[in-house]
Structure 1
Amino acid sequence: MPVVTLVNARRADAAIAFIAEFRKGLSQAGLTEGTDLAVEYHWLDGHYEELPAIIGDAVRRHVAVIATPASTPGSLAAKAATSAIPIVFGVGEDPVALGLVASLAQPGANATGINFFASEIDSKRLGLMHELLPKATRLAVLVNPDNPITAEATTKALIDAAPGLGLELLFFKASTAAEIEAAFATFAGARADALFIAPDGFFASRHLQIATLATRDRIPASDFAKDSVGDGVLMSYGTNIADVFRQVGVYVGSILKGAKPADLPVLQATKFEFIINLRAARSLGIDVSPSLLARADEVIE
Structure 2
Amino acid sequence: MQFDQLNRRDFIVLLGGGSAGWPLVANAQQSGKLFRLGYLAFIRGQDSETVLQRLSELGYSEGRNLRFDLRSVDGQAERLPQLAAELVRAGPDVLIAGFGTLAAKAAKAATTTIPVVFTSVGDPIGAGLVASLNRPGGNVTGVSSEASDVVGKRLQILQECIPGKLTIAVLVNPDTPFSTLALQELRVAADARGLRIQVFEARTADQVPVAIEAANQAGAAGLITLEDPLIVRVRHQIAELAAKARLPAVYANRAFAEAGGLMSYGVDRRQLYRHAAEYVDKILKGAKPADLPVEQPTQFEFVINLKAAQSLGLTVPNTLLVNADQVIE
The reply to whether residue 242 of structure 1 matches residue 270 of structure 2 is yes
Report the more deviating stretch, 38-47 or 137-146. 38-47
**Cα distance in 1 for residues equivalent to 2:251 and 2:197:** 16
Which residues of structure 1 form unaligned runs of 5+?
none
TM-score when scaled to structure 2?
A: 0.83
Q: Structure 1 residue 5 and structure 2 residue 38: aligned?
A: yes
How many Å separate the matches in 1 of 2:189 and 2:73?
32
Q: Which amino acid aligns with 1:133?
A: I
**Whole-Å separation in 1 of the counterparts to 2:111 and 2:320:** 46
What are the superposed Cα offsets for residues 63-98 of structure 1, whole Å, 9 maximum, x if unpaired? 221111432122222223321010001344343444
* Match of residue 282 from structure 1: 310
CA distance in 1, matches of 2:199, 2:273: 30
When the two chains are superposed, the root-mean-square deviation of aligned CA atoms in Å is 2.0
Answer whether contact 1:9 1:45 (CA < 8 A) is retained: yes
Q: 1:65 is matched with which residue?
A: 94
Structure 2 residue 261 is matched with structure 1 residue 228: no
Q: Determine whether 1:76 maps to 2:105.
A: yes
After TM superposition, the runs of 4+ consecutive aligned structure 1 residues lying more than 4 A away are: none
Counterpart AA for 1:109? G
Q: For this pair of structures, how many residues does the alignment match?
A: 296
- Equivalent residue number for residue 236 of structure 2: 208
2:320 corresponds in structure 1 to 292
2:300 paired residue among 251, 269, 272: 272
| Corresponding residue number in structure 2 for 1:88 | 117
Counterpart of 2:213 in 1: which secondary structure? helix
CA deviation profile, 1:71-130 (whole Å, cap 9, x unmatched): 212222222332101000134434344433344333332111111216651112112211
Paired-residue identity, %: 39
**1:136, distance to aligned residue in structure 2 (A):** 6.6
Partner of 2:162: 133
Q: Which residue of 2 aligns with 1:187?
A: 215
CA 1:5–1:34 in structure 2 vs 1: closer, same or farther (change >3 Å)?
same
Which amino acid in the other structure matches residue 178 of structure 2? Answer: T
Give the Cα–Cα distance (whole angstroms) in 1 for the partners of residues 122 and 209 of structure 2: 28
TM-score by length of 1: 0.90
Distance 1:120 1:27, change over 3 A: farther
Distance 2:235 2:189 in 1: 25
Q: What's the counterpart of residue 173 of structure 1?
A: 201
Secondary structure (helix, strand or coil) at the match of 1:32 reads coil
Ranges in structure 2 where 5+ consecutive residues have no aligned partner: 1-33
Shift of 1:46: 2.7
Larger Rg: 2
Residue identity matched to 2:258: G
Q: What's the secondary structure of 2:302's corresponding residue?
A: strand
Distance 1:23 1:254 in 2: 15
Distance 1:18 1:263 in 2: 24
